[in-house]
């Protein structure tokens, strides 16, 4: 009987190791290819997002489609630094900012989501191939594509689309 009990314990340990290994592999696939989490640090997306907000980011969305106008995206800025911004322009678009109005391809954008604090004009420019022009919703306090330090964002730098705010619970919901 003692030998059979040892075999059962070995079998049980093997099952646990297999189950844990499978769970780790599934978690890895989900984190690196389907969903990720992001933390908002700062006020560049105010009033849409606030510092301390916790977000769910869909990485899978951009395997099937390209980022679109108005999408809130997480992008890789530099080592261990990610930004959250809104897509304003895509490859080939012309953009200009005059008197707090963004013009895309000569047409004024209606942007009900921005903070209404005045922000600087920006000269007429064309978005290069395979690139995006992104801006924060708090235009007066955002390092975005207007800034030489970020500039146009290459498609490969866009990690995913923000799809849901988890925290704070009082503002939880789809974005």
Distances in whole angstroms, Cα of residue 78 to Cα of each of 82, 83, 121, 153: 7, 9, 26, 12
Burial class (CB in 10 A: 0-12, 13-18, 19+), 125: middle
The reply to whether 44 belongs to the active site is: yes
Catalytic residue among 59, 85, 145, 161: 85
Backbone angles phi, psi at 118, to 5 degrees: -60, 145
Active-site residue, selected from the candidate residues 9, 31, 44, 90: 44
d(CA 93, CA 77): 22
Burial of 134 (0-12, 13-18, 19+ CB in 10 A): buried
DSSP-derived secondary structure for 37-48? EEE--SSTTTTT
Take residue 130 and report the two structure tokens written for it: 């395979």
Catalytic annotation on 85? Answer: yes
Residues labelled as active-site residues:
44, 85
């Amino acid at each position: 009987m003692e030998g059979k009990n040892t075999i059962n314990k070995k079998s049980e340990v093997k099952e646990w190791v297999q189950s844990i290994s499978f769970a780790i592999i599934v978690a890895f696939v989900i984190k690196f290819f389907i969903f990720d989490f992001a933390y908002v640090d700062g006020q560049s997306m105010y009033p849409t997002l606030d510092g301390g907000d916790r977000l769910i980011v869909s990485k899978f969305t951009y395997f099937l489609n390209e980022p679109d106008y108005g999408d809130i995206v997480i992008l890789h800025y530099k080592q261990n630094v990610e930004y959250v911004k809104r897509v304003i322009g895509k490859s080939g678009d012309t953009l200009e900012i005059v008197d707090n109005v963004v013009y895309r391809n000569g047409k004024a954008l209606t942007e009900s989501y921005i903070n209404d604090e005045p922000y600087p004009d920006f000269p007429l420019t064309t978005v290069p191939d395979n690139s995006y022009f992104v801006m924060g919703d708090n235009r007066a306090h955002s390092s975005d594509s207007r800034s030489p330090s970020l500039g146009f964002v290459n498609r490969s730098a866009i990690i995913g689309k923000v799809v849901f705010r988890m925290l704070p619970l009082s503002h939880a919901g789809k974005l």
